[in-house]
Amino acid sequence: MDMKGKTVLITGAGSGIGAACALRFASEGCRVILNGRNAGRLAEVEEEIRSRFGTETLTLRFDVRDRKAAEEALGSLPDEWRAIDVLVNNAGLALGLDKEHEGNLDDWETVIDTNIKGTLAMTRLIVPGMVERGRGHIINIGSIAGDAAYPGGSVYCATKAAVKALSDGLRIDLVDTPLRVTDIKPGQVETDFSMVRFHGDAERAARVYEGYRPLEAADIAETVWFAASMPEHVQIAEMLVLPTCQATAGIIHKEL
């Protein structure tokens, strides 16, 4: 499908998979709306897009956990940016790696509010317009963690299982429309994910990726692009993407 000139909104676009998706869509002539919390990072992505590809960008700075801010930001979109063709629900995080009976309740609230409620809010605010226009694609960034729990990750895994259920449910709800729904489920990807999970402990975060070659953010952006650019009658419902050395969430071959 010809994507040139399409409008794509990406949450969590300031770094990692979100930034890589923004660059990938921009490279194909798409107009990109960048969402995130960090103004400096968003500005860097916006500048890279403009300098490399010269495509149009627009930044909406808000936290997807803040529904009112999301409503106000989307309501402020200029008329020429309102017809969003692709929504990439990428914003998400994990905090801590504690046992379920020992975890931090505040961390859990942040994870649940971002990964589940943030995804729901963006979907609820944007998809009705897609239905009205008779076109659109919702791409949710899930995780292999949504398929099975792993030690210390029960809450994060639960949120990504919810993303899968929300994707499947939305696909059912939209089956009588031309809209498409995709759940992309990465395995180990080297981004700042582990830095966030371990509250800025760089040494601990680096150990997560030692001894093997993990995926890169650009690898996931390529799968997102693939799903979005397929012919309109083709819906990539779900895609599990792993580094070659990974079999399950907990089985990774490392050469240490």
Angle at 187 (CA atoms; ends 38, 33), nearest 5 degrees? 35
Q: Which of 150, 156, 209, 212 is catalytic?
A: 156
* d(C-alpha 55, C-alpha 108), whole Å: 38
Closest CA to 60 of 125, 1, 112: 125
In the annotation, is 209 catalytic? no
CB 207 within 8 A of CB 118: no
Tokens of 17: 């998979």
Q: What Cα–Cα distance (Å) separates residue 129 from each residue in 20, 115, 124, 125, 252?
A: 26, 22, 10, 8, 42
Backbone angles phi, psi at 12, to 5 degrees: 60, 40
* Cα–Cα distance, 203 to 75 (Å, whole number): 42
Q: Which residues are known catalytic residues?
A: 156
